[in-house]
Amino acid sequence: MDSDELRNAGLKVTTPRLKILTLLENATERHMTAETIYRLLAEGGEVIGLATVYRALAQFEAAGLITRHHFDSGQTVYELERGPHHDHIVCIRCGRVEEFYDKVIEERQREIAASLGYKLSDHALTLYGECNSPDCLAGKG
């Protein structure tokens, strides 16, 4: 239950937090901006202050429930932390985000950090390109 997730994270169980967490778990799009979350909730009849959305996301991130990504395009997206690690590829035309995992790259990163004398704690790898989805190509003109 979502309320348990909040409790386990040391957060009080409040209506806004539950709504936001539930949205993150049920949305078809795994990567959303704070604005998108705010808008989707509003469209669903759950008007939650934008400030509250930001606060909740910050708390969820601190608690390890979600992860925040800053793409070079400037957009900041949040995604539920579930399943194994992965990196991202972003379409520079339509903004679409996909995930991938590559064992070879993961391994090389560890080796590189070690060879430079770093204790690796995290990494961010994002590829940028143009996707071939019909929707994206259609809007090309």
Partner DNA sequence: GTTGCAAACGATAACGATTCTCAATATAGA
Partner DNA sequence: TCTATATTGAGAATCGTTATCGTTTGCAAC
For DNA, the binding residues (CB under 7 A) are 7, 11-17, 33-35, 47-52, 54-56, 58, 76
CB 101, min distance to its own copies, A: 9
Beta bridge partners of 80: 66
CB 105, min distance to DNA, A: 27
> CB of 69 within 8 A of CB of 54?
no
Return the SS3 of 109.
Answer: helix
Query: Residue 15 gets which letter from DSSP?
Result: H
- How many Å apart are CA 48 and CA 52, to the nearest integer? 7
The residues that touch its own copies, with contacts defined as CB under 8 A, are: 68-72, 74, 89, 91-92, 98, 100, 102, 104-105, 108-109, 112-113, 116-132
Q: Nearer Cβ to DNA, position 17 or 91?
A: 17
C-alpha distance across the termini of the chain, in Å: 46
Q: Nearer Cβ to its own copies, position 13 or 69?
A: 69
* Residue 66 CB burial class (10 angstroms; 0-12, 13-18, ≥19): buried
CB 57, min distance to its own copies, A: 14
CB 46, min distance to its own copies, A: 29
| Binding site partner of 120, from its own copies, DNA, none, Cβ cut-off 5-8 A by kind | its own copies
